[in-house]
Structure 1
Amino acid sequence: MKMRRRTLYTAVGHFKKVKTQDGAYPVVLVNRQEYRMDPQEMAVWSILNWRLLNAQCVEEYYEPMFRALMLEERRTLENCLGRLVTRGLVAAGHGETDFEALYDLLSSLYVVPISTSLPLRTVTFLKMILLDGVSFARAKQIFQKARLSEGEARVMALARQALLSTAELIRCVDLGVTDVSSDDKVMDALYSDADATSDNMGDLMRSSQSRGSVTLSVANLCLHRQIIFERV
């Protein structure tokens, strides 16, 4: 019997509120580029921010939000999700198991610690209140520093030095690399092998012994709202 293929989704980029003479509107920043979304797209993106969900779980969050916000359904949820994936604002990962789908989802996404940027922490805090409906007190509680596991602390220490994908973080752990504080050090440490490129790093790390622990550390940091994901 053929196994059912799994698919997981997560949001990419971060929320920003743009002020103009005519008012304000929300955008999502991905690789320094602003993307405007209609209310339906923003609702789906917001659901997936700091979550790793399959389509059924997205729908479970979406239905009550759709009713509460009285959104105009310009397209089906499936089409809206597909549009966000096409635009690069949502990432999708596929696999024969939940973990393979998770790795496929995260391997090429770049990890950005929220704690490294005060503006990012500010807009992230606002997003939780304005879009997610989180109370001020709850948002403040969430933003208090959580105690990290050894693996999570290792990921954060590396990600604070350089913009690295999950696959690159796995390679760092494999090689025992702790100093990636410059582009030259990143290239020397991770890409001295002629076969290694940023395009194939995800495939190279599929057989890594560190793949499971680092992937789960990245996933936990996302779920605990310690990081966001970026594209380059």
Structure 2
Amino acid sequence: MAEKTLYTALGHFRCRHDKGRRYPVILMDHHEFGMDPQEMTLWTALCWRLTERQRAEDFYEQLSNGMELFPRRSFSDCLDRLVTRGLVAKGSGATDFDALYDLLGGLYVVPISSSFPLKVVTFLKLLRSGIAPALAATLFRRDQRTEPERCVMVLSGHTPLSTAELVRCAECGVPDTASGPQMLDLLYGDQETTSDNIVSEMRTAACCRPVTAAVANLYLRKQIILERACA
């Protein structure tokens, strides 16, 4: 059976201004990453998508059609460079779910504020980054959440948590009223679980599928962004 591989973009877009020059950056874990136009185009093609390589290339070709990108690397070289830089994540597995959990397990969930002014600002930034207006406008839809999705939003709003840590919260019955320090004590309060092994430990947990699906659905509905810890 062929292995499944999924990709997505990490961090969030900002436009910087310096001496009359405007340029895009990606912010992640309080770090700023510059990108050239080709990298920005590919990152945009993967933003809020969980997609296979061929579909990622199709999205990229649609966005870059007619653009003059210099120097122009191959799609594979540009994608591999963004993965190496940690601005694009990939996950692989024997099944679609295995690939999805491999992709999301170690990534941190960052809720997007529901305040209307922030949504307007985010909407305008998405338009500048090349996202289609109809796609960006979904930010303003009232989000209807399942109970696992609600828990993901509340818990990750207290402190940055990876998908695997959110699975662990569900397994341990961590209340959504717990503070950040209390939450971490409950997550890593035994002798076995560590930040190094929690992704693999939670892969077979009973709550893994519903929590991972909740994270994926919130991301696809633009309710959260995904990040990784930067060194």
After TM superposition, the score normalised by the length of structure 2 is: 0.92
Aligned pairs (5 A) from 1:8-23: 8-23=6-21
Displacement of 1:94 in angstroms is 0.8
CA distance in 1, matches of 2:131, 2:44: 11
For residues 142-172 of structure 1, give each alpha carbon's deviation from its aligned partner in whole angstroms, at most 9, with x where no partner exists. Answer: 3333111122111111111111000000010
- Asked if 1:159 is matched to 2:129, the reply is no
CA distance in 2, matches of 1:177, 1:145: 27
- Count residues in correspondence: 229
CA distance in 1, matches of 2:115, 2:84: 28
Displacement of 1:72 in angstroms is 3.5
- Asked if 1:82 is matched to 2:80, the reply is yes
Q: Which amino acid aligns with 1:163?
A: P
| Partner SS, residue 184 of structure 1 | helix
Displacement of 1:140 in angstroms is 4.0
Instruction: Show the counterpart of 1:202.
Output: 199
Gaps of 5+ in 2: none
Instruction: Show the counterpart of 1:93.
Output: 91
Stretch moving more, 177-186 or 9-18: 177-186
Query: Percent identity between the aligned chains?
Result: 48
In structure 2, do the counterparts of structure 1 residues 117 and 103 end up closer, same or farther at CA, with 3 Å as the change threshold?
farther
Gaps of 5+ in 1: none
Query: Does structure 1 retain, via aligned residues, the 8 Å contact 2:6–2:92?
Result: yes
Query: Does structure 2 retain, via aligned residues, the 8 Å contact 1:111–1:229?
Result: yes
Query: Structure 1 residue aligned with 2:169, among 168, 172, 184?
Result: 172
Instruction: Show the counterpart of 1:182.
Output: 179
| Partner SS, residue 68 of structure 1 | coil
In structure 2, do the counterparts of structure 1 residues 6 and 174 end up closer, same or farther at CA, with 3 Å as the change threshold?
same
CA distance in 1, matches of 2:179, 2:108: 16
Instruction: Show the counterpart of 2:37.
Output: 39
Query: Structure 2 residue aligned with 1:72, among 70, 73, 76?
Result: 70
Displacement of 1:139 in angstroms is 3.4
**CA RMSD, 1 decimal:** 2.0
| Partner SS, residue 15 of structure 2 | strand
